[in-house]
Amino acid sequence: MISLVTNPIDVASALSYLQTDQAGALDLFLGVVRDNTQERPVDRLEYEAYDRMAIMEMQKIADEAHRRWPILRYTIIHRKGTLLTGEIAVLIGVATAHRADAFEACRYIIDTIKQTVPIWKKEVFTDGEVWVNAHP
């Protein structure tokens, strides 16, 4: 299950979606908005996505994870729009029979999302703003 959402991410329903009798391990990764970047206070984040391509790229990552690990169920949910400190920006959930596969697949998915999925994050400070990773 892959989605790009504007409303807050519902962790409980993602968790219950992952649960299955064959799964001995459920791994959940939550990416959360922090109140600072390199000690500069962040007021909020603004996420923007190229929706159609972002979904396609996330699906490719999930398919590759499926090829590499025996995944029983997975979910990838990414927020867009304006997010405040403490809000969940991304949820990755993986269910597998054993814990090593769940940890590895979950880490692969979040790490690859950050490299290839067309989603952009702008950090808004009290005295300015910056698109993350945009400049050398």
Partner 1 sequence: MSTPISVLLFGITRDLTGQSAVSVPVGEGARVSDLLNQLYQAYPSLSGIRSLLVAVNGEYAETDQLLTSKDEIALIPPVSGG
Nearer to partner 1, 53 or 84 (CB): 53
Candidates 14-22, 35-43, 98-106, 116-124; binding stretch for partner 1 (CB under 8 A)? 116-124
Tokens coding 15: 């968790």
Q: Cβ-count burial of 71 within 10 angstroms (0-12 exposed, 13-18 middle, 19+ buried)?
A: buried
| Residues linked to residue 11 through DSSP beta bridges, in sequence order | none
Say whether residue 59 binds partner 1 (CB under 8 A).
no
Q: How far apart are the first and last CA of the chain?
A: 35
From 54, 88, 94, 106, residue interacting with partner 1 (rule: CB under 8 A): 54
Q: State in angstroms the smallest separation of the CB of 43 from partner 1.
A: 17
CA–CA dist 83, 46 (Å, integer): 6
Residues 62 and 113: beta-carbon distance below 8 Å: no
Q: How far is the CB of 39 from partner 1 (least distance, A)?
A: 19
Binding-site ranges for partner 1 (CB under 8 A): 31, 47-50, 52-54, 56, 78, 89-90, 110, 113-122, 131-136
